[in-house]
Amino acid sequence: MAKKIIHTTIQLVLVAIISASLAYLFGMKDYILVGTIGILSVSLTKTDTLSNGIKRYIDVVYGLILSTLILSLIGFNLIGLMTFLVIFIASSFIFKIEIGLVPSLVLAKHVFEFGVFDVMFLLEEVGIITLGVGVAIVISMLYPSDFNKELNRYVSKVDLMIKDHLFMLSIILKSNEDFKDFMKHYELINQGIQDVIRKAEQKDKDKLFSNDHRYLAYLYMRQNQLSFINTMYEATLRIKEKHPYQLIISDYIKELVEAIGKDNKAFDRLEKLNQLRINFSKEALPKTRTEFETRALLYHMLADLEAMLKVKVSFHERYPNLEIN
């Protein structure tokens, strides 16, 4: 977070200095305003800076043209100004370009105060928004970003949390202890993974001219697997009495923990899981209702494990030559 704040601060300072300096060199009186608009036009990601910058530019140019037309027709007075404000603000929201409202109203105020229609004055106002937004977009596009390195770190972090989550599940299957501490872990892991994915989604937006989203796809795959692990947690908590199958499944999950990673090891694990299912099917039928319910829950866990592994298999089928470094 601190690193992101530092880089954002550097971008804001660069945009402010460069845009204001260019405006000053071009002889614009409101060069400080140009720098301020430049700062407002910097977003957290390259994609957002470009998208919001275009919307802001369109809204401001639209506001300048609209204010000039309305004020010229009705008059440079309070009625003309109020008419402009109502139409402009409402239409900006309708067209979903309201992000440019603040600079638009500032520049429209300039038009109102100028008092007459003048092409050169209008062009200078357009120049203010062009420099401010333009410099912000250029700096954002050119500013170096280590997004692959950051995304790889997020991938490793989520893998570790998935391992931890599965390992804790294997312990719960063997444990007779109170589940309160385990549920705290359950909540922390789920929240932690969601937080990392949100950060990765934001970082992935820096890939403006790249269609390489393998890191994010990998994290979504893990998010999908997380839902199956959570279902197994919930099934485990519903078990009323211990059963020998629990120890077998617990040992399988412990082995599975060691296989969690970027490589494709899911297919081999599926074969072993299938063998477990075959072995279980050869056992004698349950003798009590409670045993029947327990075995049904455990059998359902095998199905969840299979579905979880197939998610990984499908991912590698989609990305057969995956390289995450």
Task: Spell out the residues 6+ positions from residue 55 whose beta carbon is closer than 8 angstroms to its own.
Answer: 96, 97, 99, 100
Return the structure tokens found at 41.
């036009």
Q: 318 pLDDT exceeds 70?
A: yes
Per-residue pLDDT band at 161 (split at 50, 70, 90): very high
Query: Residue ranges of the domains in the chain?
Result: 2-142, 147-318
**Is residue 47 within 8 Å of 206, Cβ to Cβ?**
yes
Residues 140/49, Cβ–Cβ less than 8 Å: yes
CB atoms within 10 A of CB 225: 24
pLDDT, tens digit, 9 for 90 and up, residues 68-78: 999 999 999 99
Tens of pLDDT, residue by residue over 258-280, are 888 888 888 888 888 888 888 87
Q: How far apart are the C-alpha atoms of 273 and 255, rounded to whole Å?
A: 11
- Does the structure show a pLDDT above 60 at 41? yes
For residue 207, pLDDT over 70 is answered with no
Domain 147-318 belongs to what topology?
A: Four Helix Bundle (Hemerythrin (Met), subunit A) (1.20.120)
Question: Two tokens at 127?
Answer: 């120049």
pLDDT > 70 fraction of the chain, expressed in percent and rounded: 92
Distance CA 112, CA 128 (A): 16
Look up residue 209 and give its two tokens: 């001219």
CA–CA separation, 184 and 199 (whole Å): 23
How far lies 267's CA from each of 9, 111, 303, in Å?
47, 68, 15
* Residues in Cβ contact with 113 at an 8 Å cutoff, skipping those fewer than 6 apart: none
Contacts 24+ apart (CB under 8 A), 246-249: 246/173, 246/174, 246/298, 247/173, 247/174, 248/276, 249/173, 249/276, 249/298, 249/301, 249/302, 249/305
% of the chain with per-residue pLDDT over 90: 45
Q: What pLDDT score was predicted for residue 2?
A: 60
Tokens (6 digits) for 97: 């370009």
**What is the chain's alpha carbon radius of gyration, rounded to the nearest angstrom?**
30
Nearest of 312, 305, 319 to residue 255 by alpha carbon: 305
In the numeric block, the tokens 């990998």 are attached to 218
Distances (CA, A) of 141 to 48, 237, 242: 11, 51, 59
The pLDDT tens digits for 93-144 are: 999 999 999 999 999 999 999 998 888 999 999 999 999 999 999 988 887 6
pLDDT digits (tens, 9 = 90+) for 5-16: 787 888 899 999
Q: For the chain, what is the total number of helices (H) and then of strands (E)?
A: 12, 0
Is residue 243 over pLDDT 80? no
